[in-house]
């Protein structure tokens, strides 16, 4: 065969580049939420969402057919007759979907109707592209997601992993591709080397009325036969003959518009994203992450650990959606986490998670290394005086930045690796200098394995968003010292630019602390731009900025709250406890290292308590995710 010509190679490269560009322009897809009673039509049957069990949507149909989808829409369990495949826990798809996003975990694949039994595998996923697919005679845009499962787990086995399970375990290595169409909120196609996992949409479901449901109904008793539960964790099912030939099943169809209740009638729903129920962890610090929604509004949310309330969010005005991020410290052994949500009329919904913490395994691992000065970089910004007299001065912003700088240097960060921009520093906090520090200095300096810290103390401000991108109608800015309040677009730093700055930094771990706010109210670190009256500001823009893994933003308060300064502390309230935590008060497990997770738990508790004591209302907010524990500073002896 003749090699392709140079012209052919160039053409193929151009086609690939255009394809990637089209996928990259696809708007992110938000995680859908389904309610009990929804109908999904497949060619072999119409499936009905029967219940929500083990944090999964359970769809059932006649003929001993079941499809379990995790809350993240990952395939968890598929059964047709006596054949089934289970992936527990699912690979852990992360939302919102964007092209290029990826992830994975070690999990178990369980097979019934074959000789495989149970096999431990490395699962991984990646959003490959956003493309047009034609299903059920209709063309629609869909994200193509590739899942791969492999019993060869890197670093797990010294010898060939297939020797552990036998030669037949090679059949446990397989992949499947899922197409999710945002317009219809459904998985419209699944293709796999395993026939049981093949789906394709072939027709619209019948118009079946759906009764409003206040909450998922209790799980009914399940007969032992012919309906079989997914096998228990780490219990291999009995051997059985090879599975019979299975007809390729259809994909999920979009329900008729009338089947979805109006937003006002949406029931109180809790989507628990972390931790996984029944999980075994080796770190005492973890975070409870959930989204609570209700068409009647969410009045309050509480989190209790082993019967003791550890976090509470009470809304003066009930919100249609609340994002819950509550750090908790587990005790050794079993732990019970209960998240309770309440509507204004008293309706209550609870989600329960059990998590086991084993200290012995944690102690057996090498101790968490302290942050290396050569691998740690920081940009610290404090703006106290503004050139334009229309922007009020801040009394303690410069002192806050200097305090953070001193803590990092004392903990071992090299001075050449930390750039300080304040009114009193050699480099002033102008827009040009801020963009250089964030987008040039860090991009040129930080390597892939390094850690980057960004700190900003100063004003934030909202302005009417003419693009209509923000749901609250307001663009948000960080305000440099030379900003013009009547022209923030060209003289201030848009929060959306942080996403571009984050993308320029090669480091896999970037943490930004923002002691600023955007409510536009007086008396704190915020003001309203000309002709802007900021009300009901949401936090969705922060979700957008932290979509990439390894990017975390911690703000002093929620977007509709005010970050305050206190004369008796000589600092902003948030930064005072931030520096105290970095010095050692945040070392909750007393191992000599202050981790990001420990620091956030400490700061959140202290700021909420102190702000209430002085008649204010501040709730520090964490957005984004990191893998594992991130050490920040060495704790001083206290």
Give the model's pLDDT for residue 563. Answer: 82
**Total structural domains in the chain?**
3
296 part of a folded domain? yes
Give the model's pLDDT for residue 429. Answer: 96
135 part of a folded domain? yes
219 part of a folded domain? no
Flag the least confident range among 2-6, 319-323, 442-446. Answer: 2-6
pLDDT at residue 36 above 80?
no
- Are the CB atoms for 193 and 174 separated by under 8 Å? yes
Residue 316 maps to which CATH number? 2.60.40.10
Q: Which two tokens stand for residue 192?
A: 């796999």
Please compute the mean of the pLDDT values over residues 348-372 and round it to a whole number. Answer: 63
| More confident position, 549 or 300 | 300
Please compute the mean of the pLDDT values over residues 348-358 and round it to a whole number. Answer: 85
* Residue 430 and residue 352 in one domain: no
Please compute the mean of the pLDDT values over residues 418-443 and round it to a whole number. Answer: 94
224 part of a folded domain? no
Read off the pLDDT band of 422 (50, 70, 90). very high
DSSP 379-399: EEEE----SSTTSPP-SSHHH
The torsion angles phi and psi of 532, rounded to 5 degrees, stand at: -120, 125
Flag the least confident range among 85-94, 390-399, 499-508. Answer: 85-94
* Residue 318 and residue 455 in one domain: no
- Are the CB atoms for 328 and 357 separated by under 8 Å? no
Partners of 22 in beta bridges: none
* Residue 40 and residue 151 in one domain: yes
* Residue 242 and residue 268 in one domain: no
Could you read off the pLDDT of 97-149 as tens digits, one per residue? 889 888 888 888 888 766 556 777 788 889 999 999 988 778 889 999 999 88
* Residue 306 and residue 358 in one domain: yes
Give the model's pLDDT for residue 233. Answer: 41
| More confident position, 53 or 209 | 53
580 part of a folded domain? yes
Residue 479 maps to which CATH number? 3.40.50.1460
* Residue 581 and residue 485 in one domain: yes
Averaged pLDDT of the chain: 75
pLDDT at residue 79 above 70?
yes
Residue 95 maps to which CATH number? 2.40.360
Give the model's pLDDT for residue 25. Answer: 59
Give the model's pLDDT for residue 528. Answer: 54
* Residue 178 and residue 311 in one domain: no
pLDDT at residue 324 above 50?
yes
* Residue 33 and residue 68 in one domain: yes
CB atoms under 10 Å from CB of 33, counted, come to 14
Of 144, 182, 94, 26, the closest CA to residue 547 belongs to: 94
Flag the least confident range among 226-235, 517-526, 569-578. Answer: 226-235
Give the model's pLDDT for residue 71. Answer: 81
- With a CB cutoff of 8 Å and minimum separation 6, the contacts of 199 are 42, 187, 189, 190, 249, 250, 251, 252
* Residue 329 and residue 372 in one domain: no
Note the pTM of the prediction, 2 decimals.
0.46
- What beta strand segments (E) does 408-561 contain? 418-422, 451-457, 460-464, 474-478, 493-494, 509-515, 551-555
Could you read off the pLDDT of 163-207 as tens digits, one per residue? 444 444 556 678 899 999 988 888 888 888 888 788 777 664 333
* Residue 184 and residue 273 in one domain: no
* Residue 331 and residue 382 in one domain: no
- Are the CB atoms for 518 and 559 separated by under 8 Å? yes
15 part of a folded domain? no
**Domain range for residue 552?**
366-634
| More confident position, 532 or 23 | 23
pLDDT at residue 82 above 90?
no
Q: Which of 348, 363, 378 is the last residue of a domain?
A: 363
Highest mean pLDDT among 10-24, 42-56, 197-211: 42-56
pLDDT at residue 381 above 90?
yes
* Residue 372 and residue 357 in one domain: no
pLDDT at residue 420 above 90?
yes
Please compute the mean of the pLDDT values over residues 57-63 and round it to a whole number. Answer: 86
- Are the CB atoms for 65 and 44 separated by under 8 Å? yes
Read off the pLDDT band of 520 (50, 70, 90). very low
356 part of a folded domain? yes
pLDDT at residue 271 above 50?
yes
- With a CB cutoff of 8 Å and minimum separation 6, the contacts of 80 are 63, 64, 65, 196, 246, 249
CA pair distance 583, 580, nearest whole angstrom: 5
SS (H, E, C) 138-165: EEEEEEEEEEEEECCCCCCCCCCHHHHH
């Amino acid at each position: 065969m003749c090699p392709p010509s140079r012209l052919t190679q160039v053409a193929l490269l151009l086609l690939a580049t255009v394809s990637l560009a089209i996928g990259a322009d696809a708007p992110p897809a938000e995680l859908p939420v389904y309610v009990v009673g929804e109908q999904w039509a497949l060619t072999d049957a119409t499936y009905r969402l029967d219940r929500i069990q083990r944090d999964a949507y359970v769809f059932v149909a006649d003929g001993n057919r079941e499809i379990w989808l995790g809350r993240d829409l990952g395939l968890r369990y598929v059964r047709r007759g006596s054949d089934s495949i289970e992936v527990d826990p699912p690979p852990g798809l992360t939302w919102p979907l964007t092209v290029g996003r990826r992830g994975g975990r070690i999990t178990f694949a369980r097979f019934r109707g074959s000789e495989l039994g149970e096999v431990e595998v490395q699962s991984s996923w990646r959003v490959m592209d956003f493309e047009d697919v034609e299903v059920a005679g209709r063309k629609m845009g869909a994200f193509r997601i590739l899942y791969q499962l492999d019993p060869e787990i890197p670093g797990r086995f010294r010898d060939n992993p297939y020797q552990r399970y036998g030669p037949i375990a090679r059949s446990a290595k397989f992949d499947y591709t899922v197409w999710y169409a945002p317009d219809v909120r459904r998985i419209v196609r699944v293709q796999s080397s395993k026939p049981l996992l093949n789906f394709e949409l072939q027709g619209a479901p019948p118009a079946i009325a759906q009764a409003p449901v206040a909450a998922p109904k209790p799980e009914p008793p399940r007969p032992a036969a012919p309906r079989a539960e997914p096998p228990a964790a780490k219990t291999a099912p009995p051997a059985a003959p090879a599975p019979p030939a299975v007809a390729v099943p259809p994909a999920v169809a979009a329900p008729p518009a009338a089947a979805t209740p109006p937003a006002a009638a949406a029931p109180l729903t809790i989507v628990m994203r972390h931790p996984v129920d029944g999980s075994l962890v080796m770190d005492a610090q973890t975070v409870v992450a959930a989204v609570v929604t209700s068409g009647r509004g969410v009045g309050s949310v509480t989190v209790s650990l082993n019967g003791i309330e550890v976090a509470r969010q009470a809304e003066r005005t009930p919100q249609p959606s609340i994002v819950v991020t509550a750090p908790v410290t587990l005790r050794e052994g079993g732990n019970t986490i209960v998240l309770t949500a309440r509507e204004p009329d008293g309706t209550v919904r609870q989600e329960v998670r059990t998590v086991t913490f084993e200290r012995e395994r944690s102690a057996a691992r090498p101790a968490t290394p302290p942050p290396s000065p050569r691998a740690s970089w920081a940009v610290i910004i404090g703006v106290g005086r503004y050139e334009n007299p229309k922007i009020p001065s801040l009394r303690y912003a410069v002192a806050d930045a200097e305090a953070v700088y001193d803590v990092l240097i004392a903990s071992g960060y090299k001075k050449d690796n930390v750039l300080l921009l304040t009114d009193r520093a050699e480099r002033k906090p102008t827009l040009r200098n801020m963009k250089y520090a964030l987008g040039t200095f860090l991009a040129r300096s930080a390597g892939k394995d390094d850690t980057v810290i960004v700190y900003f103390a100063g004003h934030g401000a909202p302005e009417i968003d003419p693009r209509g991108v923000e749901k609250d109608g307001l663009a948000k800015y960080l305000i440099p010292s030379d900003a013009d309040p009547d022209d923030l677009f060209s003289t201030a730093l848009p929060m959306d630019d942080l996403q571009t700055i984050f993308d320029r930094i090669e480091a896999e771990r970037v943490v930004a602390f923002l002691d600023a706010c955007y409510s536009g109210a007086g008396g704190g670190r915020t003001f309203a731009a000309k002709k802007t009256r900021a009300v009901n500001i949401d936090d969705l823009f922060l979700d957008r900025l932290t979509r990439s893994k390894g990017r975390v933003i911690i703000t002093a308060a929620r977007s509709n709250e005010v970050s305050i300064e206190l004369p008796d502390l000589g600092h902003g309230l948030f930064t005072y406890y931030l520096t105290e935590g970095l010095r050692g008060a945040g070392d909750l497990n007393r191992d000599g290292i202050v981790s990001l997770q420990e620091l956030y738990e400490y700061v959140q508790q202290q700021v909420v308590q102190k702000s209430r004591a002085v008649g204010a209302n501040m709730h520090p907010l964490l957005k984004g995710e990191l893998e594992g524990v991130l050490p920040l500073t060495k704790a001083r002896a206290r």
